[in-house]
Structure 1
Amino acid sequence: MIFETRGSGQHRPGASSPGGSLNRRSLLQGAGALGAAGSLAALSGCAGAAARPVDELAFWHLLSGPDGVTMGEMLDGYMATEGAASVQQTVLAWGAPYYTKLAMASAGGRAPDLAVMHAARVPGYAPGGLLDEWDLDLFAEFGVHQEDFPELIWDKMVVDGALTAIALDSHPFVLYYNTEIAEAAGVLGSDGLLMPTDTPEDFRALALELGANAPSGYGLSFGYLGDGSNQWRMFSTYYAQLGGTIELPVGEKMVYQEELVVEAAEWILSLIDGEVGNPGHDGGTAISEFATGGSGAFYGGVWESGNYRNQGVPFDMTMIPGVFGEPVAYADSHSFVLPHQSSPDPERRRGVHAAVAYLLQNSIQWAAAGHIPAYSPVLEDPAYGELVPQSHYADAVDHLIYDPPAWFSGSGSDFHTYFGNDMQNVWARRVDPLEGWNAFVERINALLLKTPPM
Structure 2
Amino acid sequence: MGFFYNKTVMEKAGLDPDKPPLTAEDYISALDTLKGKGIAGHWASPFQFTGGMSVYQLVTQFGGSLFSEDAGRATWAEEPGVKAMQWWLDLVKKGYSPAKVAQDADFIAFQNDKTAFNWNGIWSLNTLAENTKVKWGVAAMPQIGEKKAVWANSHQFTLPVHKKPDDNKVEASKTFVNWVSQHSLEWAKGGQIPARNKVREESGFKALTGQATLAEQLDYVVFPPAVPGIGDALTEFYTAVNTVMLGGKDVGATLKAAAGRADKILAANKKKYA
After TM superposition, is the score higher than 0.5? yes
- After TM superposition, list the pairs within 5 Å mapping 1:300-311 onto structure 2: 300-311=120-131
SS in 2 for 1:302: coil
Alpha-carbon spacing, 1:256–1:423, altered in 2? closer, same or farther (3 Å): closer
Alpha-carbon spacing, 1:228–1:443, altered in 2? closer, same or farther (3 Å): farther
Residue deviations 1:135-180 (CA, integer Å, cap 9, x gap): xxxxxxxxxxxxxxxxxxxxxxxxxxxxxxxxxxxxxx22111122
Residue deviations 1:336-384 (CA, integer Å, cap 9, x gap): 1211124432222222122112211221211123211111112111222
- Equivalence for 2:262: 444
Query: Cα offset for 1:282?
Result: 2.3
Separation of aligned partners in 2, 1:369 and 1:293: 25
Normalised by the length of structure 2, the TM-score is: 0.87
- Equivalence for 2:158: 337
| 1:197 is the counterpart of 2:18 | no
Q: Where do 5+ consecutive residues of structure 2 fail to align? A: none
Aligned residues: 270
CA contact (8 A) 2:193 2:211 kept: yes
Normalised by the length of structure 1, the TM-score is: 0.55
Q: What's the RMSD between the two structures over aligned residues?
A: 2.4
CA contact (8 A) 2:150 2:222 kept: yes
Which structure: greater helix fraction? Answer: 2
Which structure: greater strand fraction? Answer: 1
> Which 4+ runs in 1 deviate beyond 3 A?
183-189, 208-213, 228-231, 252-257, 451-454
* 2:87 paired residue among 250, 267, 271: 267
Alpha-carbon spacing, 1:451–1:361, altered in 2? closer, same or farther (3 Å): closer
Separation of aligned partners in 2, 1:203 and 1:324: 12
- Equivalence for 1:154: none
Alpha-carbon spacing, 1:451–1:205, altered in 2? closer, same or farther (3 Å): closer
| 1:241 is the counterpart of 2:52 | no
- Equivalence for 1:162: none
CA contact (8 A) 1:211 1:220 kept: no
CA radius of gyration, larger in: 1
- Equivalence for 1:293: 113
* 1:425 paired residue among 243, 249, 254: 243
SS in 1 for 2:87: helix
AA at the equivalent of 2:101? H
Residue deviations 1:112-132 (CA, integer Å, cap 9, x gap): xxxxxxxxxxxxxxxxxxxxx
CA contact (8 A) 2:77 2:259 kept: no
CA contact (8 A) 2:236 2:259 kept: no
Residue deviations 1:14-56 (CA, integer Å, cap 9, x gap): xxxxxxxxxxxxxxxxxxxxxxxxxxxxxxxxxxxxxxxxxxx
Query: Cα offset for 1:257?
Result: 6.5
Identity %: 21
CA contact (8 A) 1:212 1:218 kept: no
- Equivalence for 2:233: 415
CA contact (8 A) 1:373 1:379 kept: yes
CA contact (8 A) 1:232 1:416 kept: no
